[in-house]
């Protein structure tokens, strides 16, 4: 009965779009209907509209829907305009060259980590495969360092939304464990992923903050337990900090909020 989506028709249509994307593979009308809150003709019309609008692609051969090319076009602008990526790019390149390990740039989106850019030391390139990918905040290096520097009520809101799904034996599995970890991170100024998300995978992560202390994003250097250990990764902290500082500075000169106050903007 009550409102389900908010934001009227547009919100509902976008919910359908998310639903299609969530399948992660081309999906049939019936499959969507089975788990849709919308009645048949309503869902049908949304799919038609979204397909018309190229937000979905329809394969008539297989009668399946997938996210459409218009999203790729739009995301190009979004990535270039609403993320740290363009500002961070040269610094990420330099960091990658210096450390010779996989490097990530991430931002917080809702209560999740959104990967924005990546440098893969060994087989270079790859990437869109990673950019746009989302991951859990409570068990990744970048996620935890971003949470650590949110203000107190924001962090609680985000903590409530974590699933605390246990991926490995090291995964933090409760809000309290996470709070303790965040407190440590605030002390140190950086954090680790101690095989919390994937066995054998470890990383050091550094937040990117504005001069006012607001969280912009995070950087990390990732490796494996077979190649190094946490102490080894900790050696990257200075260069990570420098890189983060440079990104902060460039973001300031570019156009990020929280920077140019009314006074400096004025005239």
Return the residues of window 60-79 that contact a second copy according to CB under 8 A.
Answer: 60-62, 66-79
Considering only residues 145-184, where is the footprint of a second copy by CB under 8 A?
A: none
Cβ at position 42, least distance to DNA in Å: 4
Q: Shortest gap between Cβ of 227 and DNA (angstroms)?
A: 48
Q: Give CA angle at 158 (152, 164), nearest 5°.
A: 125
Find the binder of a second copy among 4, 10, 177, 180 (CB under 8 A). 10
The least CB distance from residue 187 to a second copy, in Å, is: 30
d(CA 155, CA 145): 11
- What does the block give as tokens for 177? 């464990």
HEC string of 217-252 equals EEEEEEEECCCCCHHHHHCCHHHHHHHHHHHHHHHH
Touching a second copy, residues 243-262 (CB under 8 A): 255, 257-258, 260
Name 128's bridge partners. Answer: none
- Which residues, numbered 37-76, are part of the site for DNA (CB under 7 A)? 38-42, 44-46, 63
Convert residues 19-38 into a mask of x (bound to DNA by CB under 7 A) and - (unbound).
---------xxx--x----x
Number of H helices, E strands in the chain: 11, 8
Tell me, residue by residue from 106 to 145, as one string, x for binding to a second copy by CB under 8 A and - for no binding. -x-xx---x-xx-x---xxxxxxx-xxxx-----------
CB 150 within 8 A of CB 158: yes
**Burial grade of 23 (CB within 10 A; 0-12, 13-18, 19 or more):** middle
Give the shortest CB-265-to-DNA separation in angstroms: 10
Radius of gyration of the chain (CA): 21
Other CB atoms closer than 10 Å to residue 180's CB: what's the count? Answer: 12
Toward a second copy, which CB reaches closer, 131 or 155? 131
Helix axes 8-23, 40-52, angle to 10 degrees: 80
Among the listed residues 77, 153, 262, 265, the single contact to DNA using CB under 7 A: 262
Nearer to DNA, 1 or 125 (CB): 1
Residue 128, binding choice from DNA, a second copy, none, Cβ under 5 to 8 Å by partner class: a second copy
User: Which among 4-12, 123-131, 201-209, 234-242 is the span making contact with DNA, rule CB under 7 A?
Assistant: 4-12
The residue assigned the tokens 């990570």 is 240
Q: For residues 159 and 176, give the distance between their C-alpha atoms in angstroms, rounded to a whole number.
A: 10
Please tell me whether residue 10 binds DNA under the rule CB under 7 A. yes
Site residues for DNA per CB under 7 A? 3, 8-10, 12, 28-30, 33, 38-42, 44-46, 63, 262, 266
């Amino acid at each position: 009965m009550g409102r389900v989506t908010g934001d009227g028709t547009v919100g509902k249509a976008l919910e359908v779009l998310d639903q299609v994307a969530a399948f992660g593979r081309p999906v049939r009308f019936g499959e969507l209907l089975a788990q849709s809150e919308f009645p048949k003709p309503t869902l049908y019309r949304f799919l038609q509209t979204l397909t018309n609008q190229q937000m979905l692609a329809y394969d008539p051969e297989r009668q399946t829907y997938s996210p459409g090319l218009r999203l790729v076009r739009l995301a190009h602008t979004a990535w270039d305009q609403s993320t740290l990526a363009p500002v961070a790019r040269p610094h990420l390149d330099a960091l990658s060259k210096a450390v010779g390990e996989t490097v990530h740039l991430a931002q917080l989106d809702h209560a999740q980590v959104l990967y924005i850019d990546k440098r893969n030391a060994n087989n270079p390139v790859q990437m869109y495969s990673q950019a746009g990918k989302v991951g859990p905040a409570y068990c990744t290096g970048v996620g935890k360092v971003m949470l650590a520097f949110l203000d107190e009520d924001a962090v609680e809101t985000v903590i409530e939304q974590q699933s605390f799904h246990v991926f490995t034996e090291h995964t933090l599995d409760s809000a309290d464990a996470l709070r303790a970890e965040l407190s440590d991170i605030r002390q140190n100024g950086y954090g680790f992923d101690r095989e919390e998300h994937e066995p054998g995978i470890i990383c050091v992560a550094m937040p990117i903050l504005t001069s006012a202390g607001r969280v912009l994003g995070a950087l990390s250097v990732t490796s494996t337990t077979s190649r190094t250990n946490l102490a080894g990764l900790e050696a990257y902290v200075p260069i990570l900090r420098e890189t983060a500082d440079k990104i902060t500075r460039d973001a300031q000169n570019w156009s990020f909020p929280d920077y140019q106050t009314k006074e400096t903007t004025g005239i």
